[in-house]
Structure 1
Amino acid sequence: MTERLSARAFLALVTDDFTELPHPVRESPPDGPLGWHGYDASRARAAERTGEEESVVCGTGHVQGTRAVLLAFEFGFLGGSLGRATGDRLAAAYAYAREHRLPVVPLVATGGSRMQEGMLALTQLQRVARQSALVREAGLPQIAVLRDPSTGGGWATLGAGADVVLALPGAQVGFAGSRVRPPGADPAAYTAEAQVAAGSADAVVPPGELRAALGGWLRLLTASSHDPAPVPEPLGATRLPDTGWDAVRRARAPGRPRARAYLDAYFTRRAALSGDRCGGTDPEGVLCGFGEHAGRTIAYAAQTGTATRPAGYRTAARLIRLADRLGVPVLTLVDTPGAAGDAEAERQGVGAAIADLFVAVASARTPVTTLVIGEGGSGGALALAAPGNTWATPDSYFSVIAPELAAAILKRPPQEVEATAGQLRLRPQDLAELGVTRTNDQLFPGTGDRRSEERM
């Protein structure tokens, strides 16, 4: 487990110029609003031990060049618990972030709400959630860092509610703290690593790498752009396929360039988002994140050539909505034989996940650019495609259904699969002629810039 640092020591880990913000001063009756005997004495001892007057320290600082509002919890002050004065400080800091157009970085280390203030403490979670929502509506990013421990309402608002969630190795993370869990609960489920595996956090970052990781994310998420993402150059074949079956074989070839090759060639650096925030991940099916291309930030969601799981679709929808809110253009790479169709995928809501991705793409105000780099298998591929701005490489195909399945539905023998592929008109040049995709000299030499007459 990572060493537990004080709030100010942790601030020094990520910034060299922290400046504390003025904070409201609340008059409180003896022993707080509930008259909890000994509460004032407990606060006095906490202040003497930590040198702080409350459980959170709020201010501004530059993280590798990007100025941000930093909210650092002091766990040594009554377990980093949230009380009314904590809520006052957080609300003032969020308001400052909105006024000055700054991203917010909660550095979370809390055991939850303060019992000595009862429901008045618990309702601070609603207050924090409202402030976070206002920052979100203002188009400002929030990047949380989970320290040890991050539990209770602090995790469920400041932590899990952030756009990007980073965590320290071995940090205790979970809604239930160690003293209130069910008997026999597996402690491994309440760790940073478990939250990443469950899709509730994006990455575990060692303390020595945190400043660079946080700085990279802040630079990426604070650079908006209204121009569409440029179409990547094709990395595979340059000659168009002769037949429909030739297109299918080429797209399924094991040596054909895949998503990672395209992302490596396109971005000078990138940072990955992980998880659908609903308990799932699909790291082998869809790669999502933000990267830098020609000095601009571009979000990406890229299928990897496998059947896409429900969590993959939900993660892509999460990525597109975040990019849309921040004003960042999106690049999607289509490459899947189709959506996963097994029983577990159905239990995980694959249909609803695909529907949600269709809505995310259709309602995005930020420009979305799509390149089909391999298989375009039915609706499971179309969900990630941008209407009117989809392109296809020479070693790809896009089809209403796989030719083998089409032949089976039509009760044709296996030897007619190749002919069926031709009838489906799934080749890249067929798609362009049908107005489903766009093309230019970069993708199909000698064609010029041809735009579809109608949207898909």
Structure 2
Amino acid sequence: MAERLSARAALALVTDESTFTELPAPSGEFPPDGPLGWQGYDASRARAAERTGEQESVVCGTGRVEGTRAVLIAFEFGFLGGSLGVRTGDRLEAAYAYAREHRLPVVPLVATGGSRMQEGMLALTQLQRVARQSALTREAGLAQIAVLRDPTTGGGWATLGAGADVTLALPGAQVGFAGSRVRPADAEPAAYTAEAQFAAGAVDAVVRPGELRGVLGRWLRLLTRPSGAPAPVPAPLGAPDPPATGWEAVSRARSPQRPRAAAYLDAYFTHRLPLSGDRCGGVDPGMLCGFGEREGRTIAYAAQDGTATRPAGYRTATRLIQLADRLGIPVLTLVDTPGAANDAEAERQGVGAAIADLFLTVAAARTPVTTLLIGEGGSGGALALAPPGNTWATPDSYFSVIAPELAAAILKRPATEIRPTAEQLRLRPQDLAELGVIREDR
């Protein structure tokens, strides 16, 4: 189990020294024992205040994280389990409004057991207030980066945590919608951890406490630098000359020695941070997504790594491009896949819908999307990442409506006709340029 930090300790962990300034708490009258007249509620609040030194379950303010100013919201679990009540909602709403007014990113440091029972449904409706504030902040083009502490459960997880643009978690933190006292008796505790949520694609990274300020600071810098200029096209890392034949193009693209996406990303970026998972229970290691720095600019990336892309991969790329579009950050996509995964499990996971969503996201993006074909470009599963009119190709790549072997099979041609079929498909980079599918200029 992770160490349970107080709100002030969590703030000290992530903010630069002496930079945190608490925002004034909204004022207002509160009826005796709260809106439900819950007997003993005032006494419970008084004991919580004496024990923690706080007047509510959240501490809100501004501070710098590795030099970047942000609005920080730190939950105090020692105050009635970090639960959300009406006064909590007042503070959260004021903090988000301040962030929008001053154009600052929002960093919730979450540690909560959920909504406050002593305030009944009025407490639960604070989740609607939080969701509204989060939506307004998204519309304003401001980043939200959540840090999950121990525990993060209930509505706090389902809004401030899972609803953030980027979600980081401390090792061993209890994370899940169901708190420990309301789960089924036979529930497996390991499923309700930061590590399990990372494996399921709901958390982007599990970060050790000593590294949290540095990682959070890098994320804040990356996500607060909009730019209208397109991402530069990466230089080819493999073969310098175009292939002589269609089959040579296919053979080059399939060669194990050809540079893959990770090599291109390492050469392109000074440093980068990954987004992980589709927020629907899936992770595809063959789709590398994240944000990186190049020549002082932030560029988002979604890169296929040579495998058949799973539905989770397409959904993660969609998530990445939508986030970059909201923040005004240009996108680089690298295409390299034999095609979309076509097994039964991929169909059950909605591969067609996942590809459709990615096509629509790329088509609707207002931020520029630059694409480089670096290997295989297998059918619609590859084309979904490529915007029309802004796609390039390396000399060791090909793009095709279908693989030559499958085309020959559909046409009932013998195996000896596979290579001529590759010629007919006109899939070489120079063919694609002549057809207007890719650009030649750089």
Tell me if 1:257 matches 2:267: no
Give % identity: 84
* Aligned counterparts of 1:233 and 1:144: Cα–Cα separation in 2: 35
Aligned to 1:9: 9
* Aligned counterparts of 1:90 and 1:159: Cα–Cα separation in 2: 14
- Over residues 326-370 of structure 1, what are the superposed CA-to-partner deviations in whole Å (9 max), with x where a residue is unaligned? 000000000000000000000000000000000000000000000
> Which residues in structure 2 correspond to 1:84-99 (within 5 Å)?
84-99=86-101
Tell me if 1:398 matches 2:399: yes
Aligned to 1:313: 314
Tell me if 1:215 matches 2:217: yes
Mark the runs of 5 or more structure 2 residues left unpaired by the alignment. Answer: none
* Aligned counterparts of 2:403 and 2:181: Cα–Cα separation in 1: 54
Aligned to 1:417: 418
* Aligned counterparts of 2:42 and 2:175: Cα–Cα separation in 1: 29
- Over residues 6-25 of structure 1, what are the superposed CA-to-partner deviations in whole Å (9 max), with x where a residue is unaligned? 10011001112110001112
Tell me if 1:167 matches 2:175: no
Letter in 1 for 2:8: R
Q: CA deviation at 1:26?
A: 2.3
> Which residues in structure 2 correspond to 1:262-341 (within 5 Å)?
262-283=264-285, 285-341=286-342
Aligned to 1:144: 146
- Over residues 38-82 of structure 1, what are the superposed CA-to-partner deviations in whole Å (9 max), with x where a residue is unaligned? 000000000000000000000000000100000000000000000
Letter in 1 for 2:318: A
- Over residues 302-331 of structure 1, what are the superposed CA-to-partner deviations in whole Å (9 max), with x where a residue is unaligned? 000000000000000000000000000000
Q: CA deviation at 1:29?
A: 1.2
TM-score by length of 1: 0.96
* Aligned counterparts of 2:189 and 2:308: Cα–Cα separation in 1: 33
Aligned to 1:453: none
Which of 201, 204, 218 is the aligned partner of 1:202?
A: 204
Mark the runs of 5 or more structure 1 residues left unpaired by the alignment. Answer: 441-448, 450-456
Aligned to 2:126: 124
Aligned to 1:444: none
Q: CA deviation at 1:113?
A: 0.2
Aligned to 1:189: 191
Q: CA deviation at 1:218?
A: 0.1
Letter in 2 for 1:138: A
Report the 3-state secondary structure (helix = DSSP H, G, I; strand = E; otherwise coil) of the residue aligned with 1:236: coil
Structure 1: which 4+ aligned runs deviate by more than 6 Å?
Answer: none
Tell me if 1:372 matches 2:366: no
Aligned to 1:37: 39
Aligned to 1:363: 364
* Aligned counterparts of 1:27 and 1:66: Cα–Cα separation in 2: 36
Report the 3-state secondary structure (helix = DSSP H, G, I; strand = E; otherwise coil) of the residue aligned with 1:406: helix
TM-score by length of 2: 0.99
Aligned to 2:354: 353
* Aligned counterparts of 1:83 and 1:25: Cα–Cα separation in 2: 15
Letter in 2 for 1:324: D
* Aligned counterparts of 1:177 and 1:5: Cα–Cα separation in 2: 18
Aligned to 1:157: 159
Report the 3-state secondary structure (helix = DSSP H, G, I; strand = E; otherwise coil) of the residue aligned with 2:150: strand
Q: Number of residue pairs matched?
A: 440
Q: CA deviation at 1:5?
A: 1.0
Report the 3-state secondary structure (helix = DSSP H, G, I; strand = E; otherwise coil) of the residue aligned with 1:288: strand
* Aligned counterparts of 1:12 and 1:439: Cα–Cα separation in 2: 52
Report the 3-state secondary structure (helix = DSSP H, G, I; strand = E; otherwise coil) of the residue aligned with 1:166: strand
- Over residues 345-401 of structure 1, what are the superposed CA-to-partner deviations in whole Å (9 max), with x where a residue is unaligned? 000000000000000000000000000000000000000111110000000000000
Report the 3-state secondary structure (helix = DSSP H, G, I; strand = E; otherwise coil) of the residue aligned with 1:161: coil
* Aligned counterparts of 2:215 and 2:201: Cα–Cα separation in 1: 19
CA RMSD of aligned residues (A): 0.6
Q: CA deviation at 1:2?
A: 2.4
Aligned to 1:452: none
